[in-house]
Amino acid sequence: MFCAKCGNQIAENSGFCSGCGAGAAAAPTAAARAVPPSLQLTAVTGFFEEVASVSMREIAGVDQKRAGDILKSPIFLLLLLVSVVPLAIEGLQGNDTILNGLAIWSGTLWALLIYRLFAGRQVSVGWAFGTVFFTFFIGIPLLLLYLQLPGTVFNFLESVGFFPLTLAANILGTGVREELTKAIPLFLMVRLTVRMKNPIEGIVLGMMSGIGFAVAENVLYAYTNLNSAMSNVRNTGQMIYLVGPIYQNVVRMATTPFFHGCLAGIFGYFIALAAADRQRRWPLFVAGLAIAASLHGIYDALVPRSPMWGVIVETVTYFLLLTYVLKAHGVASAKELADGLFDSPLAPRAPAVGHSETV
């Protein structure tokens, strides 16, 4: 037998509890212990009412001001862009719209990341994304016209199969023309505004133009690769021909915005230097174009031989760009660029030197 008050066990012949001193009550009979079904139902419904009341209290705790702050929060908008927008794109009508939507989504993510890492306070968001969409909507149509001019010469050089000629065709036929196309908005800014005399602006806006170029190019390549694959499927009846192009398009959308951005950022750095130093503007301009176009052409010539060559060239390109970023920011260590990047915004900050906190 146990005490009804404190729960301690009571000796059989004892009339009170040794723990709390309460008198021992007689054990209830089986009939007394039985709970009517109506009471059981009442207990269950009462439990769910209590759960509902707790949930309502939690929901009601989000006031209008806090809800507005969440909707305007960069963290909320960024994660929404990453996680929800692809599903919304899937619901669009037409393959053209879906492909353009996915390409723009991929480019926007890269543009946000690069802007966060390199722009600082020297380049506004409006100028950055305006450059992305200028190249996407205007630069690519101009490039398509440009490619029709001496294209047959470079195609012939590539068809010979001699690597030095293939490399020259990729540097002059692809690298020079595409890097000049990505630089169009930067040339306009040099001519029409007071911008582009700061190397940071040259790098960031160049990278944004490169991203816009990659977004449009990825859509173009997606159609080209898929049309070729569908033709092979119709001729052979084997669906395996679709696997490679689909994989290649996924890789292109994931990686080429960054690579094109790095190449255009390198050229943009030299364009900004040329805009600031009028006496050396042509040597600086030619040097920047030569570096960007050569890296571009080397990549295009080597990647068909092995993707690992592309990894090496892209890594070297990014490393070179980062040296220009350090020079433009006037910092000696790349670690300084990441100060605060991985710090939690909710973590307590240490007090400044020379000041004390009062409790």
Q: What is the pLDDT of residue 357?
A: 40
28 vs 160, more confident: 160
Our CA angle for 186, 192, 194, nearest 5°, is: 85
Residue 359 has pLDDT above 50, yes or no: no
Angle at which helices 184-192 and 243-276 pack, to 10 degrees?
Answer: 20
Q: What is the pLDDT of residue 282?
A: 95
Q: What is the pLDDT of residue 161?
A: 80
Average pLDDT, the chain: 81
Please state the rounded mean pLDDT for residues 323-347: 77
Residue 150 has pLDDT above 90, yes or no: no
Place of tokens 């943009």: 268
Q: What is the pLDDT of residue 94?
A: 79
Least-confidence region, from 117-121, 240-244, 293-297, 323-327: 240-244
Residue 8 has pLDDT above 80, yes or no: no
What CA–CA distance (Å, rounded) separates 280 from 298? Answer: 27
Least-confidence region, from 174-188, 209-223, 300-314: 209-223
Residue 268 CA, chain-centre distance (Å), reads 22
* SS3 sequence of 153-174: HHHHHHHHCCHHHHHHHHHHHH
What CA–CA distance (Å, rounded) separates 273 from 198? Answer: 7
The tens digit of pLDDT for each residue in 47-103 reads 777 776 666 556 666 677 777 888 888 888 888 888 899 889 888 887 778 888 888
Do 292 and 176 contact (CB within 8 A), yes or no?
no
Return the C-alpha torsion angle 265, 197, 181, 131, nearest 10: 80
The tens digit of pLDDT for each residue in 192-233 reads 888 788 899 999 999 999 999 998 888 887 777 777 777 878
Q: What is the pLDDT of residue 18?
A: 63
pLDDT band for position 272 (cuts 50, 70, 90): very high
Angle at which helices 243-276 and 95-114 pack, to 10 degrees?
Answer: 40
Do 21 and 10 contact (CB within 8 A), yes or no?
no
What CA–CA distance (Å, rounded) separates 99 from 92? Answer: 10
Q: What is the pLDDT of residue 306?
A: 92
